[in-house]
Structure 1
């Protein structure tokens, strides 16, 4: 059995809202991304994993324990960043982190200090008056400082500026090297592409696709953007046997999708054309999932 197993998980709030027959498997030491737009069901899934919600149907199992009946035991393994951060009454970030450490039985704060430094957080600030970014950093420190086996992160970089996002990705990759099991929801494809082993796409509470990020990076299908010097050559190329995805008549540009096996044919063909430039458009997780998302719309 997988380290984290979600079987037929359903929570129907009515009007098509909720999650429906969700099935996911996360292996020990795997970093798993969970992407989708706001309202897709990411937080509802995570609340079930944390034992905050009781499933209407289906189960969540973590390390062989039931997500609902064994919630207290499971929480001892987990560092959690909620999507909506609401701190208890504590005068400062330092005081809040100290109380969290006491609850966790943590006496060595050296790892917490290193994360504070990395995220450039001033924990002595008044907790209630902290900016969204400062609160987010404080929540990250609280989730990671006891070095838990599992990290469950709901949109963990909300409110962080691009520089701090990059630092967080570094931090996450460090946790990954330690062998942590990480489940992270996000609406930012780039973030999950740089950290996750596998990514699942959820839409309208239903799982649309699960993909290994390495497969996307090594995809045999490539996209090229080509611009021709003359309009006549551009028009002539349109009748060549390649899959053209976009045409830009005014700029004499075409975008083509091509399999690795046909790359030599493309370049042989292009020797007969004076071209201004050719550029490979990198195939990303975002382009992969966007294609699936659009396809799903057509069939819905």
Structure 2
């Protein structure tokens, strides 16, 4: 079976150690791949390449066999995207924004949208500028899931959510997977990836360092894959000694 998401040798450089370099992975329908890396590791760049917002310098990114940049309008209709930094129109209410997004997608049946609003206990009549960070995140989640997408690209999806909403989000992801959706979930929180994903791809400074079952690594190995061996071994006393020398 062909993968839904296919990335081969993907490179987008913004300078030394900034961007992604020779990245390769695939995700089949019903699978979830955790994309683990520190801030600035290249997770968001990869999501933007898959959405067709930017063109790669080398390699290829495909969804359903279509080039993510050349065929981006077709791909974006089938993708649910939750960016790491939400840019929402502050003067609109949550409901007006979600109705606008539904209209842009040609989505006429709004039952799922309204069900998600209720499930995440979101007040849709409040203007976005008055929402807390967690409630803005809920708007992004509803927008990403309300059209039952075949692909989910989720960048730090539980940022700002309390424990109950994190659990409900996890249930939503698992339900989408059971219906065949392919999921790429980026995070720097291992527990989130362990709960939701089959495999984990570790990236550091734009390069993949390991591909494995996220439960197979101990804490030291995880930190080393995310930050490098020198950073992983640096204790407070060692740091103070080095700083004083």
Please report the TM-score for the alignment, with normalisation by the length of structure 1: 0.72
Question: Residue 9 of structure 2 corresponds to which residue in structure 1?
Answer: 8
Distance in 1, Cα, partners of 2:130 & 2:62: 38
Question: Residue 82 of structure 2 corresponds to which residue in structure 1?
Answer: 81
Question: Residue 122 of structure 2 corresponds to which residue in structure 1?
Answer: 121
Distance in 2, Cα, partners of 1:297 & 1:23: 26
- Identify which of structures 1 and 2 has the higher relative contact order when contacts are C-alpha pairs closer than 8 Å and 6+ apart: 2
Q: Report which of the two has the higher share of helix.
A: 2
Distance change >3 Å, CA 148–CA 22, structure 1 → 2:
same
Question: Residue 290 of structure 1 corresponds to which residue in structure 2?
Answer: 223
Distance in 1, Cα, partners of 2:187 & 2:181: 18
Distance in 1, Cα, partners of 2:29 & 2:14: 31
Distance in 2, Cα, partners of 1:76 & 1:4: 15
Q: Which secondary structure state, in structure 2, belongs to the residue aligned with residue 11 of structure 1?
A: strand
Contact 1:19/1:206 (CA < 8 Å) preserved in 2?
A: yes
Distance in 2, Cα, partners of 1:294 & 1:51: 28
Distance in 2, Cα, partners of 1:143 & 1:63: 18
C-alpha displacement of 1:15: 3.1
Extract unaligned runs of 5+ from structure 2: 232-245
Say how many residue pairs are matched: 230
> Computing the radius of gyration over CA atoms, which structure comes out larger, 1 or 2?
1
C-alpha displacement of 1:289: 2.3
Matches within 5 A, 1:122-271: 122-213=123-214, 216=215
RMSD: 1.9
Distance change >3 Å, CA 132–CA 210, structure 1 → 2:
same
Distance in 2, Cα, partners of 1:107 & 1:287: 50
Please report the TM-score for the alignment, with normalisation by the length of structure 2: 0.87
